[in-house]
Amino acid sequence: MAGGFVSQTPGVRNYNYKLTPKVFVTCFIGAFGGLIFGYDLGISGGVTQMEPFLEEFFPDVHRKMKSAHQNEYCRFDSQLLTLFTSSLYLAALVSSLFASTITRVFGRKWSMFLGGFTFFIGSAFNGFAQNIAMLLIGRILLGFGVGFANQSVPVYLSEMAPPNLRGAFNNGFQVAIIFGIVVATIINYFTAQLKGNIGWRISLGLACVPAMMIMIGALILPDTPNSLIERGFTDKAKQMLQSIRGTNEVDEEFQDLIDASEESKQVKHPWKNILLPRYRPQLIITCFIPFFQQLTGINVITFYAPVLFQTLGFGSKASLLSAMVTGIIELLCTFVSVFTVDRFGRRVLFLQGGIQMLISQIAIGVMIGVKFGTVGTGDIGKTDANLIVALICIYVAGFAWSWGTLGWLVASEIAPLEIRSAAQATNVAVNMFFTFLVAQLFLTMLCHMKFGLFFFFAVFVFIMTIFIYLMLPETKNVPIEEMNRVWKAHWFWGRFIPDEAVGVSAAEMQQKSV
């Protein structure tokens, strides 16, 4: 598929390219990095409601779960149980900061490999765990793996993809995450039916499979032209650019990469420079996007879907099946974003998805409030239970084609090369910090806020939708090294971007001053 593209931002260049098999295959393999994150998201919630697992490590929770008169909102309230889930994300936060340096100095692929390796070791600890200490050590190692992968993979995909298909290729990362979730819920469904401790051990131990996939993938992947130039391999970078663009006519794009690299070399301390006013738009967006993404409430559904469905009155087997259904819905709806993000743009999907999530979340809160009230006791009929599942699926669909995919895409494409690794590390760190908070506090919040918890998240969905409408410019079809022009044209952020950052000519500057 040959051709260029038409950008809506004045002054942005058009590049020549063809959609080559090489760029498709490299981005497909690169997206494997999302599998480890997705598998863990899907597996942990299912394992924490398996009775043999709870009996082995969390007997107090198991006794409360079995209590006939237990408040439904508080059945699984345990800080130690939530620490099993949330400790991974605290470790991912820390590792993402180190991953920034490794990604910049050694290249994107080696950061991906290290992520897969530490995740593999962590899966072994969890699969053979004999006590809480082994479980938590395994979770921390898994977290280091997730931090490295989440820092490097979105950047890798954004740099390899042609400009007008960057959204679709980058969304492959989210597709891999959701695919990992679906596979994990299917595995949980079958392993939960095994007697004894073998079921949860299989679920946790099989995390080594996606870890091996990303390790092998990283070994065979080429590095990006941007990274090769950044590390001084200019000739290799041009050859790689010609290879992935399917044409020898890459001089214009290659020169833009060289210029961006030269500018980045002037930045000796990217963590210090990202605080400068000229990078204020990128810093604010890379902080607020992941902050809002976690406060959509999606991880309440992802982490604890089986627990949540069991709280709503589903049996153990039925709760895992319902979680599997929502995972499949999320996977299918993620493809909506893949095929539309570069056609309709980021803003349209953000805004539509936000409205859909807001309405469905309020409806879920109302239904749960009517059935269980504030005391947390009551019965829910089959019809009402199915309606709640349907509303959760509608909510998940809205998230899948908006904040699910775009939360990773936008943050990885907006920063110039000189602060790109630091910006992506900031994105991952903020994401993991609030993922940790939500994972650690959700069951306690559910116990105390009850059905009001869904209204709590709905308020944030409303705020973030307004934020996107006012503060996020459209970035579709804009080359990654030309993104400053988008910020310069924005009604608010334009004041922070100096004229030289967008190559404004002396004549244009003089005309502006008149």
Tens-digit pLDDT profile for residues 306-317: 666 666 556 666
To the nearest 10°, report the CA torsion of 357, 358, 362, 364: 0
**Average pLDDT rounded to a whole number, residues 423-430:** 88
pLDDT at 459: 96
pLDDT of 242 higher than 80: yes
Q: Which DSSP state fits 401?
A: I
39 vs 299, residue with greater confidence: 39
494 vs 11, residue with greater confidence: 494
Q: What's the whole-model pTM score?
A: 0.78
Among the ranges given (34-48, 76-90, 360-374, 486-500), the one the predictor scored with the smallest mean pLDDT: 76-90
CA distance 366 to 198: 39
pLDDT of 375 higher than 90: no
Percentage of residues in the chain having pLDDT higher than 90: 31
- Which of 10-19, 48-57, 175-184 is modeled with the greatest confidence? 175-184
pLDDT of 156 higher than 70: yes
pLDDT of 477 higher than 80: yes
pLDDT tens string 24-71: 888 888 888 889 989 988 888 778 778 888 888 888 777 766 664 556
CA distance 326 to 198: 26
Identify residue 223 by its one-letter amino acid code.
D
pLDDT at 14: 61
Structural tokens at position 248: 């020898």
Taking the CA atoms of the chain, what radius of gyration do you get in angstroms?
23
Query: Measuring CA to CA, how many Å separate 45 from each of 39, 64, 85, 456, 477?
Result: 11, 17, 8, 22, 38
pLDDT tens string 301-347: 765 566 666 665 566 666 667 777 888 888 899 999 989 998 999 99
pLDDT at 458: 94
Q: Which DSSP state fits 246?
A: T
378 vs 212, residue with greater confidence: 212
Share the mean pLDDT of the chain. Answer: 83
The secondary element (H helix, E strand) that includes residue 2 is strand 2-3
Q: Which residues contact 24 (CB under 8 A, 6 or more apart)?
A: none
Among the ranges given (53-67, 134-148, 181-195), the one the predictor scored with the smallest mean pLDDT: 53-67
pLDDT of 486 higher than 50: yes
Q: For residue 92, how many C-alpha atoms fall within 13 Å in the half-sphere facing its CB? A: 33
pLDDT at 510: 35
Structural tokens at position 348: 């349209």
pLDDT of 122 higher than 90: yes
Residue with the two structure tokens 């579709």: 476
pLDDT of 511 higher than 50: no
pLDDT of 278 higher than 80: yes
Binned at pLDDT 50, 70 and 90, residue 12 comes out as low
Closest to 142 in 3D by CA, of 282, 283, 39, 32: 39
Give the residues across from 18 on adjacent strands.
2
Burial label for 198, CB within 10 Å (0-12, 13-18, 19+), is exposed
Q: What is residue 17's three-state secondary structure?
A: strand
What sign has the CA pseudo-torsion 487, 293, 87, 179? negative
CA distance 2 to 159: 19
Which domains, ranges and CATH numbers included, belong to the chain? 21-223+267-497 (1.20.1250.20)
Burial label for 232, CB within 10 Å (0-12, 13-18, 19+), is exposed
Query: Measuring CA to CA, how many Å separate 110 from each of 218, 412, 417?
Result: 7, 18, 18
